[in-house]
């Protein structure tokens, strides 16, 4: 989903950089207050882990390949603000060191994978958990991660579709092409996020109890009260 | 969950160390698999761009294009680069997170 230079129009490039800048400011300000000391090692590990995971390209549909984003896991486990910072670190280094994603399209790539892919799963899961009062957690995690991935792909398709002189296919081709292929990745993203959260619930509930999307879960509430 | 109540600060530090070791080991495995098994990449974007003959040449010359070390473009070079980059990302993230914590305490 990394858009290289020359694929999107200058207008889309400028707009996405402005959106990115706004979210960076908000994320740094919010993460400064919400980030807990216990989350720091897991933030480092997860950022490194998903950078490495993005190096694996597996076959999806029509001879194309795709890779895990990790945005949903970062957003759900670390919270959207720290998750946005983590994904930004990955995307900036990928662009500057490896040429994976352009420099003029860095704003667009961060909007798709670092903002949409992170914030949508985090807030969707928060809402679904509130409605269901913590029941059906794993189904909600899967749905949140899947939706986050597909919406991020739709956004990438829309950015390309609105860049018509540069990318002549337009919205009607770019959006479905991205959405269909990334729905396969979305399924994998959903499963990986479920497994990761499940593992951390068993092994590191102290870290998960700091996640804005999960901290209200009855199981984590109990453990928090016991600790206090 | 009752176990959590008994977790002391020292054991949390041990848990952190274990988490880091397991997480980074898993990341190295991903790098190896990414270089030996799932290395072929043809994304939807590339296919559509090819159909339109849109060239996605990046403006900046990245020092390690396509995750390879120039002059050492084989799987082992890719693994070495992937492992170093993974560790660098881990350190950079810890640095930024610690900086945020420092600002919080000010």
Q: Please check the confidence at residue A181 and state whether its pLDDT lies above 50.
A: yes
CA atoms of B56 and A55, how far apart (whole Å): 20
Does the complex come out with an ipTM higher than 0.90? no
Q: Do A104 and B101 count as a contact with CB atoms less than 8 A apart?
A: no
**Could you please report the per-residue DSSP string of A4-49?**
PTTSS-HHHHHHHHHHHHHHHHHHHHHHHHH--TTHHHHHHHHHHH
Encode pLDDT of B21-68 as tens digits: 999 999 999 999 888 877 676 777 777 777 766 666 778 888 898 888
Question: What is the distance in angstroms between the CA of the first residue and the CA of the last residue of chain A?
Answer: 44
Burial of A121 per CB tally in 10 Å (0-12, 13-18, 19+)? buried
Tokens of A170: 């337009």
Position B63 in a domain: no
Residue A156 has pLDDT above 70, yes or no: yes
Partner residue opposite A167 with nearest CB, options B33, B52, B91: B52
Separation in Å, CA of B1 to nearest CA in chain A: 6
Backbone angles phi, psi at A11, to 5 degrees: -65, -50
* pLDDT at position B72 over 80: yes
CA-based nearest distance A58→chain B, Å: 6
A173, A222 Cβ separation under 8 angstroms: no
- Mean pLDDT, chain A, integer: 88
Contact B89 A3 (CB under 8 A): no
Could you report the per-residue pLDDT of A197-220, keeping only the tens digit for each? Answer: 999 988 888 888 888 888 777 767
For A174, the 3-state DSSP assignment is helix
Q: Cβ contact (<8 Å) for B58 and A65?
A: no
**Weakest mean pLDDT among A111-125, A198-212, B38-52, B83-97:** B38-52
Window 23-52 of B: residues touching A by CB (8 A cutoff) are 23-24, 26-28, 30-31, 33-35, 37-49, 52
* Interface mutation vs chain B, best among A3, A37, A50, A55, most B CBs within 10 Å: A55
Q: Does B41 reside within a domain?
A: yes
The answer as to whether B92 is a domain residue is yes
- CATH code for the structural domain at A10-217: 1.10.1760.20
Strand partners, B72: B69
Residue A89 to residue A173: CA distance in whole angstroms: 31
**pTM of structure:** 0.88
- A65 - beta bridge partners? A59
Using a CB–CB cutoff of 8 Å, tell me whether B20 touches chain A.
yes
Q: Where are the domains of chain A?
A: 10-217
Question: What would the DSSP string read from start to end of chain B?
Answer: -HHHHT--HHHHHHHHHHHHHHHHHHHHHHHHHHHHTS-----HHHHHHHHHT-----SS--SSGGG-BTTB-SHHHHHHHHHHHHHHHHHHHHHHHHHHHHHHH-
Per the document, the length of chain A is 228
Domain that holds residue B98: 11-54+76-105
User: B70 — contact with chain A (CB < 8 Å)?
Assistant: no
Give which of A172, A43, A227 is closest to B98, Cα–Cα: A43
| Cβ–Cβ pairs < 8 A, chains A and B | 211
Residue A143 C-alpha, separation from nearest chain B C-alpha, in angstroms:
23
Distance from C-alpha of B7 to C-alpha of B11, rounded to nearest angstrom: 6
Q: Quick one: average pLDDT of A28-38?
A: 87
Q: How many domains does chain B have?
A: 1
């Amino acid at each position: 989903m990394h858009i290289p230079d020359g694929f999107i129009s200058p207008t889309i490039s400028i707009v996405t950089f402005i959106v990115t800048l706004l979210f960076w400011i908000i994320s740094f300000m919010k993460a400064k207050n919400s980030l807990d000391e216990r989350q720091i090692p897991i933030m480092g590990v997860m950022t490194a882990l998903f950078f490495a995971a993005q190096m694996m390209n597996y076959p999806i549909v029509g001879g194309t390949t795709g890779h895990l984003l990790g945005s949903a896991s970062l957003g759900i486990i670390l919270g959207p603000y720290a998750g946005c910072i983590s994904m930004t670190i990955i995307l900036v280094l990928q662009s500057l060191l490896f040429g994976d994603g352009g420099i003029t399209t860095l704003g667009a790539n961060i909007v798709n994978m670092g903002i949409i892919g992170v914030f949508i799963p985090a807030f969707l899961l928060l809402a679904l958990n509130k409605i269901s009062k913590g029941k059906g957690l794993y189904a909600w995690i899967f749905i949140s991660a899947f939706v986050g991935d597909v919406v991020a792909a739709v956004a990438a398709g829309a950015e390309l579709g609105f860049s018509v002189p540069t990318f002549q296919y337009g919205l009607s081709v770019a959006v479905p092409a991205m959405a269909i292929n990334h729905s396969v990745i979305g399924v994998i993203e959903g499963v990986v996020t479920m497994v990761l959260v499940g593992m951390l619930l068993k092994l590191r509930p102290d870290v998960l109890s700091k996640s804005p999307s999960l901290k209200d879960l009855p199981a984590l509430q109990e453990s928090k009260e016991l600790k206090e | 969950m009752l176990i959590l109540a008994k977790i002391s600060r020292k054991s949390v530090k041990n848990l952190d160390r274990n988490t880091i070791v397991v997480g980074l080991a898993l990341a190295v495995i991903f790098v190896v698999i990414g270089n030996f098994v799932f290395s072929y990449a043809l994304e939807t974007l590339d296919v559509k761009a090819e159909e339109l003959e849109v060239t996605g040449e990046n403006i900046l010359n990245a020092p390690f294009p396509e995750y390879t070390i120039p002059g050492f473009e084989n799987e082992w070079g890719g693994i070495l680069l992937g492992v170093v980059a993974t560790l660098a990302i881990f350190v950079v993230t810890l640095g930024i997170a610690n900086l945020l914590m420092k600002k919080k305490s000010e």
